[in-house]
Every structure is written in structure tokens, then in C-alpha cells.
Amino acid sequence: MRKTVYLKFIMGYIIFALFGFLVVSSFVTSMVRRSLLAHESEALYKEAVQIADTFASGLYNNVITLESAKTQIDILQSYLSATIWIINPSGLIILDSSTPLDITAEDVYVEGFGELIDSTEFYEVTTLRGYWDSNHLCVYAPITNGYTVQGYVVISKPMETVDAFQNSLLNISYIMLVILFLLSLIILIFFTEAVYIPLRKITRATEEYASGNLHYEFTVDSDDEMGYLAATLNYMASELAKVEDNEKKLVANVSHDFRSPLTSIKGYSEAMLDGTIPPEMHDKYLAIVQNESERLIKLTNSLLTLNNMGTNRNMLELSDFEINSTIRSIISTFEGACREKKIRINLVLTGEEMYVHADKTKIEQVIYNLLDNAIKFSNKDSEIKIETQEKNTKLLISVKDNGIGIPKESLHKIFDRFYKTDSSRGKDKKGTGLGLSITKEIIRAHNENIDVISTEGEGSEFLFTLPISEVQTEDDV
């Protein structure tokens, strides 16, 4: 069986109870017994010394009679609940509070009392060498006259009375132990509420997530670490669910975008092979096949770039490079396209030279993508403005066209993978809808920002920032 934290906690409780019981029944018992004996014997000893100093020595010195001494010890017996003897060193009991005074009765001796008294402390627990059947607590006080011991006062109490008192004290300890144990159950209730129940919920949720149900939701209503853990777990699951949804969408998009060119390549090549398309028309359809193949290559390359950007976000090859010349050389690659559409490029660059700190190849791709889109979506005989502006430590680069613009409702989607506006589909059949998402990934990897301002039918402006290199900043100073 799986050991739950709860079970372990309960086991801890049982061990706690067992140890508590063991401690009370061993240590506490012996401590109570020891202090009880010391306390009792001290009280009895004081009485014994008192008796030895007063009427017992009076008896030996014939100051008081046996009868009056007997009366005194009888009173004390009922007061102390103990038997009092006056006994000779030889062991002859002269007076015994527990038996009536009878001078005609036979002498009663305690065997070996002389040796016993030499070897004992002022008190002991004894049967007096078998004189009594059971143990008694005995105290001895010598009756002295000058330096000679005339006799002893012995006060004894059966141990049963001491034991009974001891047991009643121990019972209190046991009751306290049980009360303490029951009170400590409050901790168990707290543990159940604050730790165990939330932990069960969290475990259940992780099991659900592990089995793939990332939409499983649960709540832990507490503002402690457990509540925080549950909220974090919920958040993690929702983020994972989003990633999963995005991946599904991506696969669907990729499949869709691969299928249409592949279908036309397959259709046209089959039609050419089986003669449906006559040989004189082959050139036309081979050009379409080539076009579609190029589109597939572009799509594959874009996907690979995007994938690399996702996994190697921190793998930028940063360097200080001159951005103005970079922009100029990219523009020159579009000369043909611009001439075709009669597009003029208006360059407004800051400074003769402007150094930025970034990954050159990737930034080239960003500018290329933005300019490519600007030309694609520009109207014939129009102008594209590329401008750079210094803003503190950043360089703001803008690519502005006077083209078809982007509808308001599409503005927040154009950076999504595979997104294309409806109006662009007609203008750009080759477009993959991946260019801007790659652009955004690159800018994000540089911890910079990219934004768009656009009005449908009027044009679009894409703006992004780059850090100005420190070399440039020093030169300025």
C-alpha cells in the first residue's frame, strides 16, 4: 500500500502517545516514588526526633510513666496514620502504638534490630527481617542520654498507603497525558486542513496533467505556500494547454500550407505525364510547378528559422555593426522589384555611420522581411520611407509604405504564425504568413520591441528598436 503523508502523521502520533506512556510509566513513576518517599520519611523522621527528645527520653529517665507515654504515642499514631514504637537497642519493643499496653504480656523482640540499625540510613523500606509480611517505610530516631543511645523511636507505615498515594499522583499524570494528547489532535486537524487536503488536490491535479488533461482546474482557498503552489500549478497547466493548442494549430497550418502546392505539383505533373496537358503547354505548367516548389522551399526554410529562434533564443551572435550600410545593401537587393512597381525608396538615416549592438544576420532578415512586405503590399508608383531615429540608447527603425494597409481587426494577429489578411491573399500568393512571426521572434530575442501602425487603404508603418552600440555612444561623447 502507498504510504500517505497522513498515515505517516498518524503513525507519528501513535509513537508520540506510546513514548508519552512509557515516559510516565517509567521515569515519572520512579521520580514520583523517590520524592514521595523522601517527603514522607522526612516528615516521619521529624516526628520521631520530636518523640525521642521529649517523652521517649522522659520514659528512659523515669520522668514520665509508661502509661502516659502510651497515651501520647496513641494520639500521634492516629494523627500520623503510622505505627510508633519505642524500642531498645537490643530489639525489645517497650511501647507499641498498635497494641494495648499489657505489662503481663510476653516481651516482643525484633530479631537482629541491633545490626540493622547500625547499617541503615535514617529511613528505609523494609520488612524488618521478616517481622512484617509486607514492606514498610521505617524511620529511626535514637533516644540519647549524653553520648549513649538508650533506645530508638521507630515510626513505620505500610508501603501500601505510600503506593496508594503514589498511584493517585500517577493517575493525574496519565489523565494529563491523555488531555495533552487530545489537545494535540488540534494540530492534526490543522495539518489536515492546511496541508493534507490541499496536497491531495495538488496531487490529483498533477495526475490529471500527467495524463494529458491540461484543462483540469482546481482551487485551493488559502493564501499560504499551498495556495501559491496550487495557483502556480494551475497557471503552468493553462500555459502548457496554450502551447499544446498552438502546436496543434501549427501542425494544421503547416499541413494545409504544404498540401496545396503539393496537390498542384502532383496534379500538373500527372496531367503532363498522361497527356492531359499537351506537350506545347508543358512550359507554362512546369513554370507553375517550379513556382510551387519554390514556395515549399521558402515555407520549409521559414519553419526551420522559426524553430531555431524558439529553441535557441539565447544563441544570438551579437556584434557591433554599422546599420546604415546594412540597410542600403538590403535595399539594393530589391532594386529590380522596385523598378518593376515604380517604387521610390526615401532613406532618412541618422548620422553618417550608426553602430548598433545586435545579431547582424538576423537583423538583416528583419529589415528584408519588412521591406519585402512593404514592396509587396505597396501600390504601383508609390514611395516607401525608411527612417532611423536616435532615442536615448536605442535606435528606432521604421519602414513605412503607402500600400493597402492592414484592417484594424487584423492588426493584433499579423505577428501570429501563418496569419495573412484576406486582402493580402490576392496580392501575395507566395506568402507563407511566417515572415512577421520570425521578425517578432528575432526582435524579442534581442529584448527589443516591434510595433505596427496601419490604416486600411492608406499604408502601414513597422517600427522596431535596436540598442545603439557603446562604441557609437563613446564616439558621440
d(CA 444, CA 433): 18
Whether residue 98 contacts residue 78, with contact meaning beta carbons closer than 8 Å, is answered with no
C-alpha cell at 229: 503552489
User: Considering beta carbons, is residue 70 or 417 the nearer one to ligand ADP?
Assistant: 417
CB of 271 to ligand ADP, least distance (A): 28
Is residue 443 at the binding interface for ligand ADP, with CB under 6 A as the rule? Answer: no
Residues across the chain: 477
Q: Does 295 bind ligand ADP (CB under 6 A)?
A: no
Taking CB under 6 A as the rule, does residue 400 contact ligand ADP?
A: no
Using CB under 6 A, pick the residue from 57, 432, 469, 472 that binds ligand ADP.
432
CB closer to ligand ADP out of 205 and 436: 436
In 111-221, alpha helices (H): 113-119, 159-191, 197-210
Query: For ligand ADP, which residue of 91, 420, 466, 467 counts as binding (CB under 6 A)?
Result: 420
Interface with ligand ADP (CB under 6 A), residue from 97, 150, 234, 421: 421
Distance of closest approach, residue 381 Cβ to ligand ADP, in angstroms: 17
Examine residue 156 and tell whether it contacts ligand ADP (CB under 6 A). no
SS3 136: strand
N-to-C CA span, the chain: 74
Judged by beta carbon, residue 143 or residue 404, the one nearer ligand ADP is 404
Spell out the alpha helix ranges (H) of 192-224: 197-210
Interaction between residue 404 and ligand ADP (CB under 6 A): yes
Residues 6 or more apart whose Cβ sits within 8 Å of residue 440? 415, 450
Q: Which of 358-371 are b and which e, b meaning 16 or more Cβ less than 10 Å from the residue's Cβ?
A: bbbebbbbbbbbbb
CA distance 291 to 253: 20
* C-alpha of 315 from chain center: 33
Looking at beta carbons only, is 230 or 371 nearer to ligand ADP?
371
Q: Which residue number, 387 or 428, has a Cβ lying nearer to ligand ADP?
A: 428
Q: Which is nearer to ligand ADP, 414 or 466 (CB)?
A: 414
Torsion sign, CA atoms 210, 214, 219, 222: positive
Q: How many CA atoms lie within 13 A of 386 on its CB side?
A: 20
403 binds ligand ADP (CB under 6 A): yes
Residue 442 found at the interface with ligand ADP (CB under 6 A)? no
Is residue 151 at the binding interface for ligand ADP, with CB under 6 A as the rule?
Answer: no
Cell 564616439 belongs to residue: 475
Residue pair 151/60 in contact (Cβ under 8 Å)? The answer is yes
Among 435, 443, 466, 469, binds ligand ADP (CB under 6 A): 435
According to the binding rule CB under 6 A, does residue 83 interact with ligand ADP? no
Minimum distance of ligand ADP from residue 222's CB (angstroms): 45
**Cα(319)–Cα(81) distance, integer angstroms:** 104
Q: Is 433 in the site for ligand ADP (CB under 6 A)?
A: yes
Give residue 118's Cα distance to chain centre: 70
Environment class of 326 (CB within 10 Å of its CB; exposed 0-12, middle 13-18, buried 19+):
middle
- 305 touches ligand ADP (CB under 6 A): no
Shortest distance (Å) from residue 6 CB to ligand ADP: 55
- Interface pattern 367-396 for ligand ADP (x via CB under 6 A): --x---xx--x-------------------
Compute CA 357 distance to the chain's CA centroid, rounded to the nearest angstrom.
Answer: 41
Decide: is 162 part of the binding site for ligand ADP (CB under 6 A): no
Residue reference for cell 501513535: 14
Residue 355 engages ligand ADP in binding (rule: CB under 6 A) = no
Q: Kindly indicate which of the ranges 20-28, 158-166, 387-395, 421-429 contains the residues binding ligand ADP, using the contact rule CB under 6 A.
A: 421-429
Residue 133 DSSP symbol: S
* 96 is an interface residue for ligand ADP by CB under 6 A: no
Q: Which residues bind ligand ADP (CB under 6 A)?
A: 369, 373-374, 377, 401, 403-406, 414, 419-421, 424, 428, 431-437, 460
